[in-house]
Amino acid sequence: MRKYLSVALAALTALGQQAPQPTAARPTFSSTTSLVVVDVTVRDKSGKPIEGLAQKDFAVTEDGKPQAIRVFEFQRLSLDPAPPEKPPSLEDADADPEPPVKMITAEEPGKVQYHDKRLMVMFFDLGSMGIPEQLRAQEAATTFIDSQMTASDMVAIMMYTSGLQVLTDFTGNRDMLRDIVKDLPIGEMAELAGTADTATDDEEDTGAAFVADETEFNIFNTDRKLQAIEDAVKKLSALPEKKALIYFSSGLAKTGVENNAQLQATIISATKSNVAIYPIDARGLMADPPGGGASKGASRGTGIYSGSQHNSQRTAINNSQETLVSLAADTGGKAFLDANDLSSGIVQAQQEYRSYYVLGYYSTNSAADGRYRRITVKLTNGLSAKTEHRDGYYADKIWGRFNAQEKEQKLMEALSANTPVTELPLAVEVDYFRVTPTTYYVPVSVKVPGSVIALAQKSGGAGETQFDFLGQIQDERRNVVGNVRDYIKVKIDPAGAAKLARRSFHYDAGFTLAPGRYRMKFLVRENQSGKMGTFEARFVVPDLAAESAMLKTSSVIWSSQREPLKAAVGAAEKASRKTVNSNPLISDDQKVVPSVTKVFRRSQNLYIAFDVYDAAPDPGDGKTRKVEVSMSLFNQKGVKTFDAGPVTATELAATRPNTVPVQLQVPLKEVAPGRYICQINVVDEIGRKFAFPRAAMVVQ
C-alpha cells in the first residue's frame, strides 16, 4: 500500500552542456502513414523460396477487411560473388573521391528503389566496445567487404558513440565502404562510454540523431543504446524492402537503470520497419580463468577457490548476451556469440535473406486511433505454401484530436497494455529502507529529461505543461500491492524555459511493502504533446530480520542535490509531520534527491545517505552505537584514487527502530574526471561486522 507520495519536479544543474539549437544542415526523415508495406516470403514444403507469383496470387486483409494491393514487386536476391573491382586508372587517381551520402534516403514512400538488392546495415556500437573489440569488429567488416560481398549486396554504415550517426547510405561501392570502416574512430568511447551529444553551436554538425540531450541519461544506461537501435530502424522504415541490421557490440550489460519497456519498443519498431537484427558479440570466444585474466585485478577472498568467482564471471557474460539474443530472436535475426570469426556472423545474416515479394496497400481504416491492426496475407491460387510476413502494425494517433475522455482511456490502456511506449525517455531507481521489522519503505525516483518536453508558450517567454504519473506494483502472484496516480501542473519562468533542454524533471513516490519479489510499471505522460513513456522493472525487497554475519544496511542513495521540502511543486496528498519524519530521505526539512544515473560534476558535492541496522549497542550506553564510515574511489584498473572519511555515526533514528542513519557529504573538486567504482566501507566497531556496498559512477 502507498504510504507517502511526494512530487518534486526540480530543474537539475546542467552538466556543462549548451542548449541545442536547430540546424538547417541536419537531415530530416519522414514517411507516409496511410501506405502499409508488407514483405512476404513464400516457401514450399522444403523451405525453398517460390518465385514467379503475380499480384493476383495474393490477398491481403487488415482486421479481416480486404485491402487493394497498390504496390507489388518481386525481389530476387542471389549469393553470386560481387564482380572484381576495376584497377584504379590515372583519371581515378586524380579525381576527387566520391563523398558518402550521410542519410538514409527514399525517393517516394513505398517506392522500391533497390531492385533485387539485399540491404544490410553495419551498426558499430563503439560505446559498448573496448579497443580490442572495436578492432575485431573493424577487421570483420573489412573482410566481408573485401571478399564476401555479393552482387546483390548494398551496405549502409551507422555508428553509435554519443549519438547515432549515419556514415553512409546504402551503396555497393566497396572502396567507399572500406574507407569508412578504416576511418572508424577506434578508441573513442572505449574508456568513458555514452556521453551525450551537446549539440552546441560551435561543434561540428555530425548528423547525430536524438537519443537524449543529457549526459547523465546516456552513461550507465542500457536504454540509450536500445533507443539508438530503435532510432536506426525508424530511419530504415521509409524503405519498403527487407533490411538486416548487423549490430557489433560487446553485449548490452544490465546496469540497474535499464528499462524492459525500451527493449520491447525496440523490437516492435524493428518488426514494423521490416528490420531483422543480427547481433555480433565482438568479444569473440571468451575463456577467462577464474578470477579474471591479466587485464583484471586479482579477486579477493575465497571466491576463486570455491568457484563462486567463476560463476559470477559467467553470469555477468550471460547477462550481457541475454539482450542480444532477445533482439535477434524477436525480430527474425540470429545472434552470433562466442566465436572469433566475426565475419561469419555477417555472412550468416547475408545468407538468411532470400527472394521475397513486396506488397503495399492504402489502409481503408483512416482513423488515427493508435490501435493495433492485424495483417493477413494468403495465396489465392490454391498453391500449398507457407507465407512469412509481419503480423500487423500500430496506427498513428493525433493527440490534438482526443477529448478528455479519450485521453483518460489512452492513459489506462497504456498502463495495462503489454505493448510499451517509449516516446518519453525515463530513468527510474527503486530503493528500500526498513521501517519496522516486517515492513519496508520503498522510494521510487523517476527522472525525465527536459530536452523532450514541450511547453505551452506564455507571455514573456514563460511556459507551462502538465504531467500525468501512474504507477503500479505487483507481487509474485500478480496481485496489485501499490498504486500511484498523480497530476502535476508545472509553470516555468522565462529563464527556466530557455534552459529546459539542459535540465531534468524529477518525480518521486513512496510505497510500504513487505519483503519479497515485485514487478513495477510506471507510466508518465506529458500532456502538451501527448508523449508517453513506460518503465518496467523487477526488484527485490530483502528480508533483513534474520541474523547475518554481515552488517545489514539499506539501499545507498547517491545524490548531488538536496532541496527544501517547500521547493516541491505538487503533492498527491498532504504529508503529516509524522510521515515526513519517517521518510529516510528527509532530514531537517531537506530532501535528498537520488541521482538515478549516478553522473556527477567536479563542482558538485556527492551526498550519500543510507541506514545501518542492528548495530551492537555500546556497553556503557545502550542508546549509542559506533558505526565508522568511509568512502573509496577505484578507477577502471582497480586502483584506489580517492579516500574520504572516516566519520562515525552514533545516534539512533527516532522513527525507525534499531536504525543508525548515515549521511556523508564529499566534495568532488579533487577527483579527476573519469569512471569509478565507489565503495562505502561500513564498520560496526562494537559488533565487529562489516559491509562494503558499491556502485559505478562517473565524475565529469
Q: What is the model's pLDDT at position 198?
A: 34
The verdict on 529 and 677 lying in the same domain is yes
Whether residue 382 is contained in a domain is answered as: yes
Report yes or no: 465 and 500 within 8 Å, Cβ to Cβ: no
CATH of the domain at 64: 2.60.40
The verdict on 47 and 116 lying in the same domain is no
CATH of the domain at 336: 3.40.50.410
Q: Which helix (H) or strand (E) holds 586?
A: strand 586-587
Whether residue 26 is contained in a domain is answered as: no
SS3 label, residue 581: helix
Split into its structural domains, the chain has a count of: 3
Q: What is the model's pLDDT at position 57?
A: 93
Q: What is the model's pLDDT at position 58?
A: 94
Tens digits of residue pLDDT in 1-44 = 333 333 444 433 322 333 333 333 333 333 444 688 888 889 88
The verdict on 366 and 444 lying in the same domain is no
Distance of alpha carbon 71 from alpha carbon 58, whole angstroms: 12
The verdict on 567 and 506 lying in the same domain is yes
The verdict on 366 and 457 lying in the same domain is no
Tens digits of residue pLDDT in 114-132 = 888 889 999 999 888 888 8
Q: What is the model's pLDDT at position 684?
A: 93
Give the single-character DSSP code of 473.
E
The verdict on 248 and 170 lying in the same domain is yes
Whether residue 653 is contained in a domain is answered as: yes
The verdict on 185 and 332 lying in the same domain is yes
Q: What is the model's pLDDT at position 223?
A: 74
Q: What is the model's pLDDT at position 97?
A: 61
Q: What is the pTM of this model?
A: 0.60
Report yes or no: 626 and 660 within 8 Å, Cβ to Cβ: no
The residue segments making up the domain with residue 206 are 98-353
The verdict on 348 and 439 lying in the same domain is no
Whether residue 510 is contained in a domain is answered as: yes
CA distances from 206 to 99, 128, 389, 412, 520 (A): 15, 20, 36, 40, 38
CATH of the domain at 494: 2.60.40.10
DSSP state letters, 635-690 = -TTS-EEEEEEEEEE-PPPSSSTTEEEEEEEEE-TTSPSEEEEEEEEEEETTTTEE
Q: What is the model's pLDDT at position 497?
A: 72
Report yes or no: 129 and 250 within 8 Å, Cβ to Cβ: yes
Nearest residue to 210 via CA among 201, 220, 218: 218
The verdict on 492 and 637 lying in the same domain is yes
Q: What is the model's pLDDT at position 329?
A: 85
Tens digits of residue pLDDT in 198-235 = 333 333 333 334 333 344 555 556 777 888 898 899 88
Q: What is the model's pLDDT at position 371?
A: 75
Which residues of the chain register pLDDT less than 50? 1-33, 192-215, 569-576
Give the single-character DSSP code of 399.
G
The verdict on 366 and 454 lying in the same domain is no
The verdict on 363 and 385 lying in the same domain is yes
Whether residue 28 is contained in a domain is answered as: no
Q: What is the model's pLDDT at position 488?
A: 85
Nearest residue to 551 via CA among 378, 700, 389, 684: 684
Q: Which residues contact 303 (CB under 8 A, 6 or more apart)?
A: 291, 309, 312
The verdict on 635 and 620 lying in the same domain is yes
SS3 label, residue 461: helix
Distance of alpha carbon 213 from alpha carbon 216, whole angstroms: 9
